[in-house]
Amino acid sequence: MRIVFLGSDPIALPLLNWIAANPESVGSLVGVFTQPDRPVGRGQQVLANEIKTWAQARSIPVYQPDKLTDDVRHELEALHPDISVVMAYGHILREGFIATPRLGTLNLHASLLPKYRGASPIQTAIANGEKQTGVSLMRIVRKLDAGPVADVEKVDIDPLDTAREIETKLAGACVPLLARNWSALREGKLVFVEQNEAEATFCRRLTKMDGGLDFNGSAESLAARINGLYPWPGCTTEINGQMIKIGLAACAKASGKSAEASAVRTPMAAGTVIGTTGTAIEVATGDGVLELLRLQRPGGKMLPSAEFIRGFSVALGTTFPSRPMEALVANAPFPYKKA
């Protein structure tokens, strides 16, 4: 099997390592397509992404087109691929590009389709309070993430999982998913089932504006949003005139406190700091107590709550301002929105 991989995110590295470690049973990577090198970080230094670095270390040809033109498709054809595997590439593939490999083009989408089609399935599943997500092995079609699905690998979302932890779980889930389906794929026997369009939901491209928090919501929904949007774009709140990034949160119920205790302690205005503990800054919400577990001041490090407040005063009665929170999921595709 001659395999071409298309992807730009390190979530695919466990999958690539599995392919590289099993040339006899899986096949050989004959090319990797990834995004062009981009400026990174505060210094805006132009760096290769981790997929490119991985491929170059193994002398695998790397292609970094800015657009998938006919010339790029000819480059793909010249590799004589049996199969293309796509995960988090960042380009919309044209019909000719999809059809070039002998066995077609497969995509590993980081959700349990038909839920969370679109650009931010990992973050949105967590932020929307899901208890489980996964990876779907699907054929690519022109319609957004609507291709038929062959199989899924599920992972649990624990209460204190952020997008970073779930991305790691999903990265590992790709390996058993492809491993158990590879023989059927290479023999042309893999069965794909059409998605149920009535159950489809869509997520959108996230922006920095999504970091706002409306404390009039429930503690459970706020904790889910904070955890789902960490590390990017990250949820923030204003304390003493400074914008503070929140890296982890929980609601009192999830952390083991009784509903009775929460009810007694939350008659104050939503967004009010009502207590501090050895592990959390406690904030009143529209429903329940929100526990801020990790925080970061401008220019500082992300710290556990107890360590954060030793160097940054957060007085009881402080009220965090509420900001609008736009919906992250819908029953139809969102219009394109620049990050």
Q: Give 213-311's CATH code, choosing from 3.10.25.10, 3.40.50.720, 3.40.50.300, 1.20.1440.130.
A: 3.10.25.10
Q: Which of 1, 184, 2, 175 is nearest to 79 (CA)?
A: 2
pLDDT at 208 exceeding the cut of 90: yes
CB of 152 closer than 8 Å to CB of 135: yes
pLDDT digits (tens, 9 = 90+) for 257-309: 444 444 445 468 999 999 998 899 999 999 999 999 999 999 999 999 999 99
Q: How far apart are the first and last CA of the chain?
A: 38
pLDDT digits (tens, 9 = 90+) for 128-185: 999 999 999 999 988 899 999 999 999 999 999 999 999 999 999 999 999 999 999 9
Q: C-alpha distances in angstroms, 128 versus 30, 71, 92, 156, 299? A: 39, 41, 26, 14, 30
Assigned token pair, 315: 């007085």
CB of 166 closer than 8 Å to CB of 122: yes
Does 231 sit behind a cis peptide bond, omega within 30 degrees of 0 on the bond before it? yes
CB of 325 closer than 8 Å to CB of 212: yes
Is pTM beyond 0.85 here? yes
At residue 224, the pLDDT reads 98
At residue 252, the pLDDT reads 84
pLDDT digits (tens, 9 = 90+) for 70-117: 999 999 999 999 999 999 998 889 899 999 999 999 999 999 999 999
At residue 338, the pLDDT reads 53
Domain definitions of the chain by residue range: 2-202, 213-311
CATH hierarchy code of domain 2-202:
3.40.50.170
